[in-house]
Amino acid sequence: MARSRRRRLPRGGNDFQWCFSQVKGAVDEDVAEADIISTVEFNYSGDLLATGDKGGRVVIFQREQENKSRPHSRGEYNVYSTFQSHEPEFDYLKSLEIEEKINKIRWLPQQNAAHFLLSTNDKTIKLWKISERDKRAEGYNLKDEDGRLRDPFRITALRVPILKPMDLMVEASPRRIFANAHTYHINSISVNSDHETYLSADDLRINLWHLEITDRSFNIVDIKPANMEELTEVITAAEFHPHQCNVFVYSSSKGTIRLCDMRSSALCDRHSKFFEEPEDPSSRSFFSEIISSISDVKFSHSGRYMMTRDYLSVKVWDLNMENRPVETHQVHEYLRSKLCSLYENDCIFDKFECCWNGSDSAIMTGSYNNFFRMFDRNTRRDVTLEASRENSKPRASLKPRKVCTGGKRKKDEISVDSLDFNKKILHTAWHPMENIIAVAATNNLYIFQDKIN
């Protein structure tokens, strides 16, 4: 059977065989705070991969076209554009330091030759236009080739400037700045399927914007209590439904998800659906609420399911069933007996993200020690892989890793106490159509591909 070179849909149900493809970033042991990657996102076609970091910078990689003369560079991602998206600010009125860290990047669907993305820090969202310039005009009348103005009296003839090809230049320019709409820290942005509006969510409020309008934003969710002493939960993530432009969900620090329908009222404080897994009251502990806090929520591409990530697990919910998830996958259950120290070193508050593959047959999320986990929903198999430079020979297969919890540690296993909790994989992304994944390990970006790809 002839194998097509470029698959349109990834294989579902079979085991993947992940291989190292590329790693980006510095090798130094000393990691500068600014270089820590804070968000990773593929665009709709998967040809562009954007990263944001704590220093407020965005780096965009582009997938190389398949090239017969350099077959091994098929599908490699190389730097396309980089720019400073946000700068540090100080709000003197409130004595607030505003970090330049990019919390989220979301691409807009492509409508013309240029690419657009939204990037946000804690307070301000910006719409960036990334465009290519590969021609320039030559033969101006009023200035020389090097830009110097010509003496008008010396001009004796007129000529028509002609366009000449030039080396490709990629320019990024801020087209809209959506500011001053959030008192609290923005944790999510999500572009609507109508391609005209988007939402931004902070700890207590969610706002709806029109991409063209920067001086106005509609508040659609407000959970701020009249008396702040009564505050019991905050919004942790929000996302628009992939197809229904009137539906969005938001998750809370108490482990619940609310689905809202913007058709029902202007202010969606009353949810249409409320998703919560019942808790066994006898199992409640000091840590229960903290570890149930949802750090990420993502709709499946189909729009039928959504996935939530809490500290120890990933749950898949059927939108038609509110009383419990349809799947629960343990990410690192062995950490349950380490919660005390994880609370002391603040790791218990780490916010892990999660993502679906293109066909919704698999999900991925990160863990510690530069491990990341993948769950195949069809075969019910899961695997732990590691992003490390030790395993970075081109096209080298990744070996599954195993954490040993009991006393006897087998060869190649690592014990829980040896895990490096400073090596966290919080951000991962899966190509929308192919089996290519991007994994952010602190200041390095790893790209892995499925062998068959």
Partner 1 sequence: MSQKQEDENPVEETGEEKQDTQEKEGILPERAEEAKLKAKYPSLGQKPGGSDFLMKRLQKGQKYFDSGDYNMAKAKMKNKQLPSAGPDKNLVTGDHIPTPQDLPQRKSSLVTSKLAGGQLE
Residues of this chain that interact with partner 1 (CB under 8 A) are 22-27, 34-35, 37, 51, 53, 55-57, 59, 78-79, 82, 84, 87-88, 90, 92, 95-100, 122, 184-185, 203-204, 228-234, 253-254, 280, 282-283, 285-290, 293, 333, 336-340, 343-344, 392, 394, 443, 445
Nearer to partner 1, 1 or 228 (CB): 228
* Cβ–Cβ under 8 Å, residues 348 and 287: yes
* Cβ–Cβ under 8 Å, residues 116 and 106: no
Q: How far apart are CA 192 and CA 207, in angstroms?
A: 12
Nearer to partner 1, 35 or 222 (CB): 35
Nearer to partner 1, 109 or 394 (CB): 394
Q: Cβ of residue 303: shortest distance to partner 1, in angstroms?
A: 30
Q: Cβ of residue 105: shortest distance to partner 1, in angstroms?
A: 13
Q: Cβ of residue 96: shortest distance to partner 1, in angstroms?
A: 5
Q: Cβ of residue 254: shortest distance to partner 1, in angstroms?
A: 7
Name 354's bridge partners: 365
Nearer to partner 1, 91 or 138 (CB): 91
**Cα 452 to chain centroid, rounded:** 25
Q: Cβ of residue 88: shortest distance to partner 1, in angstroms?
A: 4
Other Cβ atoms closer than 10 A to 64: 14
Nearer to partner 1, 4 or 227 (CB): 227
Nearer to partner 1, 236 or 357 (CB): 236
Which residues neighbour 128 within 8 Å (Cβ) at sequence distance 6 or greater? 58, 83, 85, 116, 117, 118, 119, 172, 173, 174, 175
Which residues neighbour 77 within 8 Å (Cβ) at sequence distance 6 or greater? 22, 24, 49, 61, 62, 63, 64, 447
> What 3-state DSSP class applies to 73?
helix
Burial per residue of 383-417, b for 16 or more beta-carbon CB atoms within 10 angstroms, e otherwise: bbbbbbeebeeeeeebeebebbeeeeeeeeebebe
Q: How far apart are CA 442 and CA 390, in angstroms?
A: 16
Q: Say which DSSP state 376 is in.
A: E
Q: Cβ of residue 419: shortest distance to partner 1, in angstroms?
A: 16
Question: Which amino acid does the sequence have at 434?
Answer: E
Nearer to partner 1, 195 or 389 (CB): 389
Q: How far apart are CA 203 and CA 21, in angstroms?
A: 37
Q: Cβ of residue 20: shortest distance to partner 1, in angstroms?
A: 10
Q: Cβ of residue 302: shortest distance to partner 1, in angstroms?
A: 28
Q: How many CA atoms lie within 13 A of 201 on its CB side?
A: 22
- Burial class, 245, CB count within 10 angstroms (exposed 0-12 / middle 13-18 / buried 19+): middle
Nearer to partner 1, 204 or 319 (CB): 204
Nearer to partner 1, 79 or 168 (CB): 79
Q: Cβ of residue 228: shortest distance to partner 1, in angstroms?
A: 7
Nearer to partner 1, 204 or 362 (CB): 204
Q: Cβ of residue 433: shortest distance to partner 1, in angstroms?
A: 24
> What 3-state DSSP class applies to 338?
helix
* Cβ–Cβ under 8 Å, residues 38 and 122: no
